[in-house]
Structure 1
Amino acid sequence: MSGFTITVAQQKGGSGKTTLAVNLAVEFSRRGHSVAVLDTDPQGSLGRWFMTRRAAMNGEAGLDFATASAWGVSYELEKLLKHNEIVIVDTPPKVDSDLRPALRASDLVVVPVAVSQVDVWATESVLEMAQRERRKTLLVLNRAAPRARLTADIAGRIRELESPAAETVLNSRVIYAEVLGEGQGVVEKAARGPAAVEIRKLCNEIADILNS
């Protein structure tokens, strides 16, 4: 598995893009892949996570990191892919022409969908843009409450959208927020915990798509 770009994109803020990008990066790195993260969101949350991680690990984050404006994505990706097998791109919470360069360069666009109808509506425009660029997409139900009726309802609705949906569901867990502020991934903080199990299963699905 090498030379792949995974872009995490969603129009609606609060969908968990950065948290998802971070945890995918950490898990793929733990599997022995060289991994870089590219932050194209002006809020810079991914960059703050990386610097926190770097400080906690005495300068050895175990990942490469870069930032880029929307139109600098292709240039930064070209540099990162020379030295890394996988690059994960975090994008701003919007869908416009600024997102197109990241989508165009992607082997897979992962779209987190939080449990609300508003998030489902927001997802449609992301899929439309990705489809215009002829990119593979994968919907991921995120921040779910396992036994809530709304979760089942939204899960059914995203299966109706024109994109494959991951079998893995990421549930609403405090640990996802905790690790973001600590520069970690859930597979590092609690390797046998349910959140780590979710992330490993999701990475298996993503690897299968990329290798197919």
Structure 2
Amino acid sequence: MSGRILTVAQQKGGSGKTTLAVHLAVALAAQSGEPVAILDVDPQGSLGTWYEAREDRLGEDGTGLEFRTASGWGARREARSLARSHGYVIVDTPPKTDVDAKPAIDAADFVIVPVQPTPVDLWATSQTFEMAAREDTPALLVLNRVPPRASLTAAMAEAITESGYDALAARLGNRTLFASAMGQGAAVTEAAPSSKAALEVASLIDELIGRIG
């Protein structure tokens, strides 16, 4: 067995990397029926904090995910090791540093790059795409924390097209439900499966699976 390694990376902070990583992991585990692992490479440890809340709620054997941490070049080794026994490995990387992100990007089959729909965030994204290109790893842009302002979203969609970045059409909105679910050690697909947020995640996963196989 050799699973897919999906590294969530973005050089600019505040893009919602950990939230995206969590929702990818939970939804892929539910939809694929395969074992899924999450790997925290970010020294801030937000993914680990979420997982501890999940263990408190569901018990150590009930999380539905395997959790590991790594740093530096150990991230590449750990990700590849997990991929031998899991259908998907989701890696959460730190912002503003190449040292920890590079090995995780090198190990990945795909880099998932969340970006908030602002010109500044899109400009900062170029660094992440350049890093992925240097490691010869395909990267997919995901619009995250999208406000309900269609004109801004349309302008950003046009800017993304002009940038040449490969972007998914599915987007995640700027919804408080994402934060509240995270605080419970859950994903919105679990906490509120009929919500707009959960439907957005489902659309994202459907498109992502179609792209990565």
Shorter-normalised TM-score: what interval?
A: over 0.9
**In the alignment, what sits opposite 2:198?**
196
- Count how many residue pairs are aligned between Structure 1 and Structure 2: 211
Query: Which of 183, 186, 191 is residue 181 of structure 1 equivalent to?
Result: 183
**In the alignment, what sits opposite 1:82?**
84
Shift in Å, 1:24: 0.6
Counterparts of 2:125 and 2:72, CA distance in 1 = 20
Shift in Å, 1:78: 2.8
Shift in Å, 1:74: 1.8
- Are the aligned partners of 1:9 and 1:90 in contact in 2 as well (CA < 8 Å)? yes
Q: Deviations over 1:35-55 (max 9, x none)?
A: 000000000000000010011
Counterparts of 2:48 and 2:169, CA distance in 1 = 29
**In the alignment, what sits opposite 1:118?**
120
In structure 2, list runs of 5 or more residues that go unmatched. none
Q: Deviations over 1:53-111 (max 9, x none)?
A: 01100222110000000211122113312321100000001242432111111111010
Amino acid across the alignment from 1:77: A
Q: What SS does structure 2 have at the residue aligned with 1:5?
A: strand
In structure 1, list runs of 5 or more residues that go unmatched. none
**In the alignment, what sits opposite 1:130?**
132
Shift in Å, 1:177: 0.6
- Are the aligned partners of 2:38 and 2:65 in contact in 1 as well (CA < 8 Å)? yes
Overall identity of the aligned pairs, in %: 49
Amino acid across the alignment from 2:24: L
Counterparts of 1:27 and 1:185, CA distance in 2 = 8
**In the alignment, what sits opposite 1:51?**
52
Q: Is the aligned partner of 1:6 residue 2:6?
A: yes
When normalised by structure 1's length, the TM-score is: 0.95
Query: Which of 204, 207, 210 is residue 208 of structure 1 equivalent to?
Result: 210
When normalised by structure 2's length, the TM-score is: 0.94
Counterparts of 2:111 and 2:82, CA distance in 1 = 18
- Are the aligned partners of 1:95 and 1:126 in contact in 2 as well (CA < 8 Å)? no
Amino acid across the alignment from 2:110: L
Counterparts of 1:47 and 1:193, CA distance in 2 = 26
Counterparts of 2:107 and 2:165, CA distance in 1 = 18
Point out the more displaced range, 152-161 or 15-24: 152-161
Q: Deviations over 1:99-136 (max 9, x none)?
A: 21111111110100102111011100100110111111
Amino acid across the alignment from 2:58: M
- Are the aligned partners of 2:80 and 2:107 in contact in 1 as well (CA < 8 Å)? no
Q: What SS does structure 2 have at the residue aligned with 1:42?
A: coil
Counterparts of 1:72 and 1:188, CA distance in 2 = 32
> What is the alpha-carbon root mean square deviation over aligned residues?
1.4
- Are the aligned partners of 1:108 and 1:136 in contact in 2 as well (CA < 8 Å)? yes
Point out the more displaced range, 154-163 or 13-22: 154-163
Shift in Å, 1:190: 1.0
